[in-house]
Amino acid sequence: MSGPDKPKVIGEEWSDERIRGFLDIVPYDPAINADYHVLLKAYRAMRAEDFERFIGFFVAAGRDLNAEDEQGRTLLDLVSGHRRSGEYAQVLIRAGAKRKAEAGH
């Protein structure tokens, strides 16, 4: 995170422990799908290579790559709509993520 009192750090190396820590994030609202919430937080916070490591931990933990948000979208649906997120979409696809229409949810 960056701000006036905390300069943005570019190229910072993330440890496995820090990346795995995202698995423990819990949404404030119990109505929000916890797996989707964690995926979204990781996507927003991590570089593509760290996100790929995170997805490995996420899948190994038995979490749902095709979890949906309140509008019924998977993270792959969301990421696929972002111009500069091709690497993230490919990470998700390689791990077995589907778009909602493909997931059969």
Domain that holds residue 94: 16-23+30-103
Burial (CB < 10 A; 0-12, 13-18, 19+), residue 42, is buried
Burial (CB < 10 A; 0-12, 13-18, 19+), residue 58, is buried
In a domain, 6, yes or no: no
As a whole number, mean pLDDT of residues 3-24 equals 76
In a domain, 89, yes or no: yes
Cα-Cα-Cα-Cα dihedral sign, residues 67, 100, 102, 76: negative
In a domain, 11, yes or no: no
The pTM of this model reads: 0.83
pLDDT value at residue 83:
85
In a domain, 66, yes or no: yes
User: 5 pLDDT band (50/70/90 cuts)?
Assistant: low
In a domain, 3, yes or no: no
pLDDT value at residue 100:
82
Residue 3 has pLDDT above 90, yes or no: no
> Which one-letter DSSP state was computed for residue 81?
T
Average pLDDT of the chain to the nearest whole number: 88
Number of domains observed in the structure of the chain? 1
Q: Which of 7-11, 26-30, 80-84 has the lowest mean pLDDT?
A: 7-11
